[in-house]
Amino acid sequence: MSKRSLISSFPFQLEPELVAQVHCSLLRWYSTEQRDLPWRATNDPYAILVSEIMLQQTQVDRVMPKYEQFLTAFPTLADLAQASTADVISVWVPLGYNRRAVNLQSIARQVLAEYDGRIPDTIDGLLQLKGVGRYTAGAIACFAYRKQVATVDTNIRRVLHRIFLGLEFPEQKLNDANMLTFAEQILPNGEAYSWNQALMDLGATTCTSSNPQCTYCPLQESCRAFTEMSQYSLFPSGTVLRQLRKVAEKKADYQVQPFKSTNRYFRGRIIDHLRTVPSGQRVSLADLGAQIKPAFTHADMPWIQKLVEGLTKDGLLDCANEGVCLP
């Protein structure tokens, strides 16, 4: 099927000339404005896997120093696979979502045991790795092995949606599966690496979720969302802009929630405390509770028990009758 007929198979009009124009503008912008990120200076699939797992749920600025430290501690996939899980978790902290560290090590061990230490280079092969989803598989295939494949993360989804489909408010016009198919169909020939990186950069720096900087955007002339926003803002109701603001406000509300009262915070406190305990020494739940929560009482025992069960299930703790320790 030709690219033209594929594009027209979606329930909206999309001119190949428009797609070509967007390719040209965005790739030109990327050639001068791309972010200088350490994982872009390597083709090592292991290093790129580490960066991709770290970038899930964590901002680039926080990932950069930890990425370097992690690769210094575990320079190769074999080093990571053969390390103790307690050491891996210790180096990972304080990046957060520590379960990612355990998952990353599981992948390394699987690759060593089943793939002779070589990370697969195809989407299908990468999807066989435990915990690797379609986005990460696409990112590794493209960024490490330069395969001509599409991949869709939050930034790419938002940017593609706005350029070709218009504003994603009040509802997205394509579900995840269709967005991936769409992304595959508009991939520029031979430019998948730069194209995917450029979409991510534009989404992170210019076409942000609640405050798109259309004035500085290289795609303004081609962008459907920009046209919609310009039209709506002519009316006093300003419906679309209000929608955008609502999203920003919702995010702000979320950020002021007291993080220090969340289970996620206390899960982190448990790992932090156990890192200070001599290797193999176990800590009773009552002692652990007193260490992580100043006002801890016996009534909190079911709560800490549940936290410990969750961390054990995630592979972050070793739990026994005598108490808990890092695995």
Nearer to ligand SF4, 194 or 205 (CB): 205
Nearer to ligand SF4, 128 or 213 (CB): 213
Token output for 121: 């280079």
Tell me if 226 contacts ligand SF4 by CB under 6 A: yes
Minimum CB distance to ligand SF4, residue 159 (Å): 6
Nearer to ligand SF4, 81 or 223 (CB): 223
Minimum CB distance to ligand SF4, residue 181 (Å): 21
Tell me if 271 contacts ligand SF4 by CB under 6 A: no
Identify the DSSP state of 188. P
Nearest one of 9, 11, 20, 10 to 189, comparing CA atoms: 20
Tell me if 214 contacts ligand SF4 by CB under 6 A: yes
Minimum CB distance to ligand SF4, residue 219 (Å): 5
Tell me if 200 contacts ligand SF4 by CB under 6 A: no
- Torsion, Cα 116 119 120 124, to 10 degrees, reads 120
Binds ligand SF4 by CB under 6 A, chosen from 220, 243, 291, 312 = 220
Nearer to ligand SF4, 123 or 207 (CB): 207
Minimum CB distance to ligand SF4, residue 202 (Å): 7
CA–CA separation, 162 and 152 (whole Å): 14
Report residue 147 CA to chain centroid gap. Answer: 20
**Number of residues in contact with ligand SF4, rule: CB under 6 A?**
14
Binding span for ligand SF4 by CB under 6 A among 3-11, 219-227, 260-268, 297-305: 219-227
Binds ligand SF4 by CB under 6 A, chosen from 80, 174, 223, 308 = 223
- Torsion, Cα 215 219 224 227, to 10 degrees, reads 30
Token output for 100: 């990612």
Binds ligand SF4 by CB under 6 A, chosen from 137, 199, 207, 283 = 207
Tell me if 219 contacts ligand SF4 by CB under 6 A: yes
Tell me if 212 contacts ligand SF4 by CB under 6 A: yes
Minimum CB distance to ligand SF4, residue 13 (Å): 18
108-123 in b/e burial notation, b at 16+ Cβ within 10 A? Answer: bbbbbeeeeeebbeeb
Identify the DSSP state of 161. I
Nearer to ligand SF4, 111 or 240 (CB): 240
> Catalytic annotation on 168?
no
Q: How far is CA 171 from CA 10, 75, 183, 235, in A?
A: 17, 44, 19, 21
x/- site string to ligand SF4, residues 85 to 114, per CB under 6 A?
A: ------------------------------
Classify 253 as helix, strand or coil. Answer: helix
Catalytic residue of the set 52, 68, 171, 322: 52
Minimum CB distance to ligand SF4, residue 137 (Å): 26
The answer to whether residues 52 and 64 touch, using CB atoms and an 8 Å cutoff, is no
> Which residues touch 142 (CB under 8 Å, ≥6 apart)?
148, 149, 151, 192, 193, 196
CA–CA separation, 264 and 56 (whole Å): 16
Tell me if 210 contacts ligand SF4 by CB under 6 A: no
Binds ligand SF4 by CB under 6 A, chosen from 23, 66, 157, 162 = 162
Cα four-point dihedral sign 278, 280, 284, 289? positive
Tell me the residue length of the chain: 327
Report residue 132 CA to chain centroid gap. Answer: 12
Q: Which residues are catalytic?
A: 52
- Which residues bind to ligand SF4, rule: CB under 6 A? 159, 162-163, 206-207, 212-214, 217, 219-220, 223, 225-226
